[in-house]
Structure 1
Amino acid sequence: MGSRRGYRIVSVIAEDPREDFRPLPFFVYGTLRPGEVNHDLLLRGRTLAEEPGHLAGAVLYDGPGYPYAVEEPGGTVRGELVTARPEAYEELLAALDRLEEYVPGDPRNLYVRAARDVVRAVGGTARAWVYLAAPGVAARLRATGTRIADGDWLSRR
């Protein structure tokens, strides 16, 4: 980063680091949804609210026991918008990053955590953290992955 004539020059990256400090809700679409294996393990007692919603502009792929959301115009991924208890937010963010094996800036990430607008079932949108397939993973999934046609992980049963 540098500065010229009073302007700040910054590099453009997929994730906005300024949003790392805002307590955004989380959009969960796989094993963190109610009734799934990681919901009680990681979310029970740490949330204020959980409500249905969907992520527009993404599709869902089946992974080895868990799904991947891949950004794609025209698609929809169904899930829940989860609002953390304020006192549990930082701990929950760290726990979810560990679950998804997400380390900011690490090229080996399978997922990237990105802020996206999620459509609430009750109307309106909310900005939320979403774990999306990292670029290399997304390319492989588009080429050879199994897409979940309706965008709902729970429908795969």
Structure 2
Amino acid sequence: MTTRPTPGDPAAPERLPFFVYGTLRPGQVNHDRFLLGRTVAEDPGSMRGAVLYEGPGWPYAVQDPRGEIRGELVTPAAAHYDRLLAALDELEDYAPGDPANIYERVVREVLPAAGGSARAWVYLAAEPVARRLRTSGRQVRGGDWPYGSARYPE
């Protein structure tokens, strides 16, 4: 069993927006389930230094200095932040320090389409998953899931 920091705990993570690039994007299966009514802003943007790989119904972002991915910068409402963070960590099979993580939640610089930059949490594939994808995975064309995936021809 893994433990997660509780709200108000000094080990609790910084309250940053999230950069989402898969099923949490508007119009995708998990957006309304997790984000609808719990955010104050959802803005298109991009993140450099990663590429997307196809997964079984969702993408994986993998660090790659040559890549850039598209998604949304999501700013949770303060009243929902702690519960939303816990829910997203669970959705992404992430627990701080757990070697069995599928994803790791990390801080990255995001470029909102409106200009400027912002620090945000993003879930990147954990290294064992990333190694497998780099070896035998299928990259998402253009770094824009699902629009660049095989299911959405250009």
Distance 1:73 1:23 in 2: 26
Task: Quote the residue 1:35 is aligned against.
Answer: 27
Write the mapping of 1:1-157 to structure 2, written as runs, cut at 5 A: 20-155=12-147, 156=149, 157=152
Gaps of 5+ in 1: 1-17
Gaps of 5+ in 2: 1-9
Q: TM-score normalised to the size of structure 2?
A: 0.88
Distance 1:140 1:93 in 2: 27
Distance 2:32 2:40 in 1: 14
The answer to whether the 8 Å contact 1:42/1:92 transfers is: yes
Distance 1:134 1:116 in 2: 15
Aligned-residue CA RMSD (Å): 1.2
Distance 2:54 2:129 in 1: 12
Richer in strand (by share) = 1
> Which residue type is aligned with residue 96 of structure 2?
P
Q: What is the deviation of 1:22?
A: 1.8
Aligned residue-pair number: 140
Richer in helix (by share) = 1
> Residue 19 and residue 133 in structure 1: after superposition, are their counterparts in 2 closer, same or farther (change >3 A)?
farther
> Which residue type is aligned with residue 56 of structure 2?
P
